[in-house]
Structure 1
Amino acid sequence: MENLVVLLELAYSAGSPSISDVMRLGFQREVQEERGWFSFLRGWCINVADRLVYLNTIIEELEYCLRNMFAAQLLVALRSGDDIVFVDAIMYFKAIRDFEAQKLENLQLFLRASEMEVTRRMQFAARFNVM
């Protein structure tokens, strides 16, 4: 029943009883919806990429402090065994960074698949535009 309602709404919005006009409008709406999703994915990719830069900076700072304990002492009061804390923190942030890098790779793969889907839907919409 829901599909029938959508079809009737499309026919009404198209302003024409012609099935080609209804199909053209349907594909145009699909393209618009996919472009909105596409925009969201791009924004999410930028967000994850920024997070990767942030995590890399934290890791670099921790590694610097581990190599140069005097510099670390200027920032915090060190105790015996704090070098192990630095190593643990570095490993922790590297694990998070690796997870975020994998997430970014997956998002980019999904983005490429979405690009292909938008192109395909635009091709279908174009076919109905010439009718």
Structure 2
Amino acid sequence: MRLFQPIEQDSRLRVVGHSMMEPFSVWLKAAFLSGLVFASPFIFYFIWEFVAAGLYKHEQSYIYTYMPISIGLFIGGALLAFFFAFEPLLDFMFWYYERTETQPDLNLSEWVSFVLMMPLGFGVSFQLPLLMLLLERIGVFTVESYWS
């Protein structure tokens, strides 16, 4: 498996733009998402300051316990997507193009959206264990019901 091979060296990949504004809008989308990622600690801090004022100490302790786990799971999922799942997924998708004997002609904005949203989707899906734990703790499910 070619783990760190640059995507530009993949001869199957040909990304094209279909409008005059597409390259500029892709840069804007990437800049907006980067700004959101870099600003997210501050955003979460201000949201926390607002919410924490209305919580009891024992309720705040749940946040202090589970927030680092949640952040770690999200980052782990995003890194898994970017470094380990991205290339096999592309190989799988290009295999379908080869099987149907068609040539991929990828739209630039769709390609960038795919590259940016895949780690986001993996990160969010890695939150499932915490969601399952929450549902078990509040009594919606039992551990035994997860096994059945």
Structure 1 or 2: more helix by fraction: 1
TM-score (norm 1): 0.31
TM-score (norm 2): 0.29
When Rg is computed on C-alpha atoms for both structures, the one with the higher figure is 1
